[in-house]
Amino acid sequence: VVSSTAALDEVYANVKAVMSRNRVKPKPIADNIVFVLGGPGSGKGTQCAKLVQDYGFTHLSAGDLLRDEVKSRSKVGIMCESMMKEGKLVPMEVTIGLLKTAMERATLKSFLIDGFPRALDQALAFEKHVTAADFVLFFDCPLETMTERLLERGKTSGRADDNMDTIRKRFDTFTAQSLPVLDAYKEKGIAHVVSSTAALDEVYANVKAVMSRNRVKPKPIADNIVFVLGG
């Protein structure tokens, strides 16, 4: 018996407690989650696009979600813009909130989450408030190569963070905060490091090998096939 005279949220909290006692679990927010990590310019986005095409993932880029928020000129977006120009990490509550909203809206529930988590506290908070990742792809690339790629991209991207000063700051942040994330996932045994200095197809072949080892299958070419025969 649940009293329904209190505020809606309080009543619902009591209802959820009943569900929990009867071992009724909420539906999962995702079927699969793969975190895709690597330094700026390591080729994450390119490889994610190929995985989406072949495996049917929903690709969520933390950076793209933040840039969309900046374009909206919301109060949060204006704050994010200032921090991104300085190469700093946006508050994790903002990034996790944007990711969770995007996941709830998605039709396909297998996710590639690109560029997140970028710090250990982000990883822990996401696991606590959203869910845990199944495994992690890390694209390993020398700083010199990533710098060349970013400067070349900056000629046409129009992105405020594709300039030498911001690139250096982003690398400093990546080295100080993101590499410990990789170490933590290595300790859990769910991190897979792929070199991204080779040709695109060679890198992707190694990525597909990681997918296979984790029992992630390519999407079928068709859901149903019906042959129609007759004279």
What is the average per-residue pLDDT within 61-79? 89
Cis status, amide bond into 142, omega within 30 of 0: no
Residue 171 contacts residue 148 (beta carbons within 8 Å)? no
Using pLDDT thresholds of 50, 70 and 90, give the confidence band for residue 176. Answer: confident
What is the average per-residue pLDDT within 51-71? 92
Q: In whole angstroms, what is the distance from residue 200 CA to residue 207 CA?
A: 10
* Model confidence pLDDT, tens digit, residues 13-29: 888 888 888 887 776 67
Using pLDDT thresholds of 50, 70 and 90, give the confidence band for residue 224. Answer: confident
Using pLDDT thresholds of 50, 70 and 90, give the confidence band for residue 76. Answer: confident
Using pLDDT thresholds of 50, 70 and 90, give the confidence band for residue 159. Answer: low
Query: What separation in angstroms does the CA of 35 have from each of 118, 137, 185?
Result: 10, 6, 10
What is the homologous superfamily of the domain 31-213 according to CATH?
P-loop containing nucleotide triphosphate hydrolases (3.40.50.300)
Q: Which residues contact 147 (CB under 8 A, 6 or more apart)?
A: 41, 167, 171
Residue 191 contacts residue 185 (beta carbons within 8 Å)? yes
Question: For 20-34, 66-80, 148-162, 202-216, which range has the lowest pLDDT when averaged over its residues?
Answer: 148-162
Domain boundaries, the chain: 1-27, 31-213
